[in-house]
């Protein structure tokens, strides 16, 4: 428990799960860097759908947070102090990170983060881009390289190409030499072509099965019927990953959950898994993980101009309720970022 005299800081937090009305802006104790951690003064933070899902309590079976809980999963800032055994970084360095899942806490003036999850930010990369990259960038990278194991010449379908994950995945898949098909509304088509998508489907008017040939791989962000139809439209021997559907049993193992959680996840994903088995398609849910080494690779691509981030920027803590509302509309393009006032 923090001591009475512990310094305080501004933060966006919840003290119980629930809807938009549960969002709090106020003072919380400033964290101290623990073993292997850096204390980062936060300059900018990115938002992701997991932030409102966390607020709602929808991920608590995997990530049960003690209350009050500071929200936020990715940030860019400057290292102010290092804990014991915190190697590889120095005070004053600009860094970005997808913070530890079990602590979250990016939406604050300061955050304590394991150095293994940090990447140094080159001078040529803005705070805003560095804050927008970690969660969506690592998700796209891990899905394409580790789960789908995408190869040059393969055809990949990326759902919601204009979203936070999608607009990064489209670029990475194109650079990997894949033929990229994606779903979006027509107003986003030019943007998506400029990122490397060659086949575009207006998901509001068309069924993707009617517009594009079967694919080798799918990155699904939607779950439900779209996921089932995606599995059905994948070639035998192909791979499908969902990040928006219901978790598959291996997620329970990866989070070291008890047997009943594994059973629950097996039950709720039974239709998708059965269809994938019958079609000889490899299928799983993926929950991205923080990884400083992979993040360093991605940020070097941003610095080299090979990976472009589309961002919409909001200024200051007071904007959080508005930014949450925008994100929850499900219609945003690229990433939403809040820049925090400079302190100290
Ligand atoms: N498991 C994980 O590790 C992980 C990691 C990151 C994200 N996720 C999940 O993945 C999902 C996507 O995340 P995100 O950050 O990319 O979301 P996002 O940025 O909020 O996605 C917004 C975009 O989705 C598009 N969209 C909405 N409905 C669509 C549909 N039926 N078909 C195609 N596009 C549609 C919208 O396009 P239009 O405006 O053109 O309609 C909009 O551009 C969320 O559910 C999120 O929680 C999971």
Residue-wise pLDDT tens digits, 45-84: 999 999 999 999 999 999 999 999 999 999 999 999 999 9
Looking at the fold, whether 182 and 57 belong to one and the same domain comes out as: no
Residue 297 lies in a domain: no
What's this model's pTM, rounded to 2 decimal places? Answer: 0.97
Question: The CATH number of the domain where 98 resides is what?
Answer: 3.90.180.10
Beta carbons of 37 and 115 less than 8 angstroms apart = yes
Looking at the fold, whether 148 and 117 belong to one and the same domain comes out as: no
How large is the angle between the packed helices 259-268 and 270-278, nearest 10 degrees?
60
Q: Prior bond to 101 cis, omega within 30?
A: no
Q: Which atom of ligand 1 is nearest to the CA of 226?
A: 31
The tokens for 333 are 């393009």
Looking at the fold, whether 269 and 332 belong to one and the same domain comes out as: no
Q: In this predicted structure, what is the pLDDT of residue 310? A: 98
pLDDT digits (tens, 9 = 90+) for 215-226: 999 999 999 999
Cα-to-centroid distance, 36 and ligand 1 (Å)? 33
Q: Which atom of ligand 1 is nearest to the CA of 223?
A: 45
Whether 334 lines ligand 1, by a CB cut-off of 6 Å, is: no
Of 307, 290, 291, which Cα lies nearest the Cα of 299?
A: 307
Tell the residue nearest (CA) to atom 14 of ligand 1.
Answer: 164
Whether 110 lines ligand 1, by a CB cut-off of 6 Å, is: no
Residue 229 lies in a domain: yes
Whether 159 lines ligand 1, by a CB cut-off of 6 Å, is: yes
Looking at the fold, whether 224 and 156 belong to one and the same domain comes out as: yes
Whether 166 lines ligand 1, by a CB cut-off of 6 Å, is: yes
Please, what is the average pLDDT of the chain?
A: 96
Looking at the fold, whether 146 and 271 belong to one and the same domain comes out as: yes
Tell the residue nearest (CA) to atom 45 of ligand 1.
Answer: 244
Residue 330 lies in a domain: yes
Asked if residue 162 has pLDDT above 80, the reply is yes
Residue 295 lies in a domain: no
Whether 311 lines ligand 1, by a CB cut-off of 6 Å, is: no
Looking at the fold, whether 325 and 225 belong to one and the same domain comes out as: no
Distance in angstroms (rounded) separating the CA atoms of residues 234 and 213: 9
Whether 310 lines ligand 1, by a CB cut-off of 6 Å, is: no
Q: How many domains does the chain have?
A: 2
Whether 227 lines ligand 1, by a CB cut-off of 6 Å, is: no
The residue range of the domain holding 51 is 8-133+309-339
Asked if residue 344 has pLDDT above 70, the reply is no
Q: In this predicted structure, what is the pLDDT of residue 23? A: 98
Residue 316 lies in a domain: yes
User: Which residues 6+ apart lie within 8 Å of 340 measured at CB?
Assistant: 42, 43, 44, 45, 109, 316, 317
Q: Give the residue-averaged pLDDT of 310-323.
A: 98
Looking at the fold, whether 116 and 140 belong to one and the same domain comes out as: no
Of 341, 339, 340, 337, which Cα lies nearest the Cα of 312?
A: 337
pLDDT band at residue 5 under the 50/70/90 scheme:
low
How large is the angle between the packed helices 49-56 and 320-328, nearest 10 degrees?
100
Looking at the fold, whether 109 and 140 belong to one and the same domain comes out as: no
Q: What is the DSSP letter of 108?
A: B
Looking at the fold, whether 75 and 49 belong to one and the same domain comes out as: yes
Residue 321 lies in a domain: yes
Looking at the fold, whether 150 and 128 belong to one and the same domain comes out as: no
Residue 290 lies in a domain: no
Looking at the fold, whether 98 and 171 belong to one and the same domain comes out as: no
Looking at the fold, whether 280 and 140 belong to one and the same domain comes out as: yes
Asked if residue 16 has pLDDT above 80, the reply is yes
Residue 30 lies in a domain: yes
User: Which residues 6+ apart lie within 8 Å of 96 measured at CB?
Assistant: 74, 75, 76, 77, 118, 119, 121, 130, 131, 133, 134, 295, 299
Q: In this predicted structure, what is the pLDDT of residue 6? A: 78
- Using CA atoms of 133, 59, 338, 183 in order, give the dihedral in degrees to the nearest 10: 60
Q: In this predicted structure, what is the pLDDT of residue 3? A: 47
């Amino acid at each position: 428990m923090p001591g009475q005299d512990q310094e305080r800081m501004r933060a966006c937090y919840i003290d119980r799960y629930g809807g938009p009305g549960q969002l709090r802006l106020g003072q919380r104790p400033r964290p101290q860097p623990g073993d292997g951690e850096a204390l980062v003064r936060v300059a900018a933070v990115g938002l992701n759908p997991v932030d409102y899902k966390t607020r709602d309590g929808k991920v608590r079976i995997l990530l049960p947070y003690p209350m009050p809980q500071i929200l936020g999963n990715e940030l860019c800032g400057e290292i102010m102090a290092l804990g014991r055994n915190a190697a590889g970084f120095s005070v004053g360095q600009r860094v970005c990170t997808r913070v530890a899942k079990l602590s979250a806490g990016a939406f604050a003036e300061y955050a304590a983060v394991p150095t293994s999850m940090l990447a140094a930010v080159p001078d040529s990369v803005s705070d805003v881009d560095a804050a927008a990259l970690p969660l969506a960038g690592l998700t796209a990278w891990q899905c394409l390289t580790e789960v789908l194991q995408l190869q040059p010449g393969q055809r990949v379908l990326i759902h919601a190409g204009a979203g936070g994950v999608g607009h990064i995945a489209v670029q990475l898949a194109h650079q990997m030499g894949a033929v990229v098909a994606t779903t979006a509304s027509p107003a986003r088509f030019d943007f998506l072509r400029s990122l490397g998508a060659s086949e575009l489907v207006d998901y509001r008017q068309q069924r993707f099965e009617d517009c594009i040939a079967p694919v080798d791989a799918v990155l699904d962000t939607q779950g439900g019927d779209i996921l089932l139809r995606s599995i059905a439209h994948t070639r035998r021997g192909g791979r499908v990953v969902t990040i928006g559907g219901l978790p598959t049993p291996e997620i329970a193992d990866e989070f070291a959950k008890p047997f009943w959680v594994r059973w629950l996840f097996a039950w709720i994903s039974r239709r998708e898994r059965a269809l994938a088995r019958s079609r000889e398609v490899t299928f799983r849910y993926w929950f991205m993980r923080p990884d400083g080494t992979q993040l360093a690779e991605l940020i070097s691509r941003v610095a080299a101009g090979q990976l472009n981030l589309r961002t919409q920027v909001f200024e200051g803590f007071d904007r959080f309720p508005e930014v949450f509302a925008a994100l929850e509309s499900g219609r945003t393009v690229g990433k939403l970022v809040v820049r925090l006032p400079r302190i100290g």
